[in-house]
Structure 1
Amino acid sequence: MSTPVFAVPEPPAKADARPDPAARRRLPAAQRERQIVEAAAQFFAEHGLGGQTRELARGLGITHSAIFRYFPTKEALLDRVYEHVYVQRWNPAWGGLVGDRSQPLEARILRFYREYAEKIFDYVWVRIFVFSGLKGYDIAPRYLGIIRERVIHPICAEVRADLGLPSPDVVPLTEREIEAAWAMHGKVFYLAIRKFVYGWPIPQDLSQTIADDVSVFLDGAPRIFIESVASARTA
């Protein structure tokens, strides 16, 4: 089977700081709100979450008060940015992908991470995520909670099933198992950090790199999971 090609997108060009004349036209409320959210996502990705909404308004060519007609606080605006950038990109079909035992475990995990990487390898997604953690906003913790429940724990459960080990309902997942899955997840995400935060080169086609990361995890998983379950049973 041929390896799918996953080409990494380039960061967008810097936005023109001059107000767009079209932005000053009277727009329907829903369209104006969407315009503000999309511009805010780009603005905070470039300037950090400490960026001032006054500057955002100036770039949009609207008054500062116009933003607050739609979003009473900066936190409310950031909540909408979170929904727009993170929640809307989550594919509900991923929920059953890792657990589909009609396919080999490696194929399931690999397919998930290739599809997931295509969504998150994005200038705005990565930079807002990092800035959120640095500034103490809850965007990163909220999203990591989703990853833990919908990705990390299901992967651990499927590794156990593949190895013939007790399910997490019988023997709760151990910290060691969970951290092994986080390490694989982190390796995929670090490629995005290298590109969109550090500006450091990464492979143009990430398909093989992701396949290698998944393979390394699964090669080491039997010893980690078997030892961890044995320790949990005797604890």
Structure 2
Amino acid sequence: MKKKATPKRARTKQKRLSPDDRRKEFVAKATEFFSEEGFGGGTRDLARRLGVTQPLLYRYFPSKDDLIKEVYRTVYLEPFDTGWEKLLADRSKPIRDRLYEFYNAYTNVIFNRKWLRIYLYSGLKGLDINRWYVGVVRDKILTRIVRECRHEAGMPLQTKPTAAELEMAWVFHSGIFYYGVRKYIYESPVLESKEQMISDALDAFLAGFERVFGATVAISRAPVKVVG
């Protein structure tokens, strides 16, 4: 008896994407790819993951470096356009409130496995992503934080942050960053409340900054006794 032919499934018609949407899709999937495989994979593997040909991928990104730079821009730089610098500089709010609000928003962006894995992979690979991002954090976040701490302590604002001031800010910032690494990369036990962690770190940093650098200014301003 002749078997009845199984009807073929109708092919689902894929929606045709605009060039801009196609480019965004490539960046989003490349971000996933780099977070899972690192930056050692070639464009052939990446194109296969995207479900497209290499020539089509090269039409949007002439080289792998161009694609990496676009991932960096969208994943690491775009969040800074959300008004974070303006928030840090808004002296109508107490400095602690500004920093608390900023670090809650900042960690909401970076505390995920994809973001952190790409950052760590790029560091191990010696790519420029880490150096670029460290520069952005230094110039857009930490320099502003030091400036606002100086203002709060009544210190001079004309000079650039000293190496010691920036180092203290880095220690504070890196502690918060490493909380995310321990939780999302190492999957180690951490304090359950991220908000409490930020709050405690802020109290320690602000008290330490004023004690170390504010005291230095106070000593330098102390009147000199004249011995008769």
TM-score (norm 2): 0.84
Question: Match for residue 44 of structure 1?
Answer: 34
Could you tell me how far 1:52 is from its partner in structure 2? Answer: 2.1
- Residue identity matched to 1:147: V
Distance 2:13 2:110 in 1: 28
Question: Would you say 1:179 and 2:167 are equivalent positions?
Answer: yes
Residue 173 of structure 2 aligns to a residue in which SS?
A: helix
Question: Match for residue 99 of structure 1?
Answer: 89
- Residue identity matched to 2:21: Q
- Residue identity matched to 2:208: G
Question: Would you say 1:108 and 2:114 are equivalent positions?
Answer: no
Question: Match for residue 152 of structure 1?
Answer: 142
Question: Match for residue 212 of structure 1?
Answer: 200
**Which structure would you say has the larger RCO, counting Cα contacts within 8 Å and 6 or more residues apart?**
1
Residue 199 of structure 2 aligns to a residue in which SS?
A: helix
TM-score (norm 1): 0.81
Taking a change above 3 Å as real, the CA distance of residues 81 and 224 of structure 1, as seen in their structure-2 partners, is same
1:107-129 Cα deviation digits (max 9, x unpaired): 11111111111111122211111
Question: Match for residue 212 of structure 2?
Answer: 224
Distance 2:69 2:153 in 1: 41
Gaps of 5+ in 2: 1-10, 222-228
- Residue identity matched to 2:77: V
1:198-225 Cα deviation digits (max 9, x unpaired): 2323334300011111111011112321
What aligned pairs does 1:1-235 form with structure 2 within 5 A after superposition?
A: 27-167=17-157, 169=158, 171-226=159-214
Question: Match for residue 13 of structure 1?
Answer: none
1:136-185 Cα deviation digits (max 9, x unpaired): 11111111211111110111111111111111x2x432111111111111
**8 A Cα contact 1:23 1:60, kept in partner:** no
- Residue identity matched to 1:220: G
1:51-71 Cα deviation digits (max 9, x unpaired): 222112112221222211211
Range with bigger deviation, 200-209 or 21-30: 21-30
Distance 1:23 1:208 in 2: 50
- Residue identity matched to 1:192: G
Distance 1:228 1:176 in 2: 12
Could you tell me how far 1:228 is from its partner in structure 2? Answer: 5.6
- Across the aligned residues of Structure 1 and Structure 2, the Cα RMSD in angstroms comes to 2.4
**8 A Cα contact 1:127 1:196, kept in partner:** no
Residue 141 of structure 1 aligns to a residue in which SS?
A: helix
Question: Match for residue 6 of structure 1?
Answer: none
Identity %: 39
Distance 1:188 1:30 in 2: 35
Distance 1:231 1:219 in 2: 17
1:82-117 Cα deviation digits (max 9, x unpaired): 112112222441112122222211111111111111
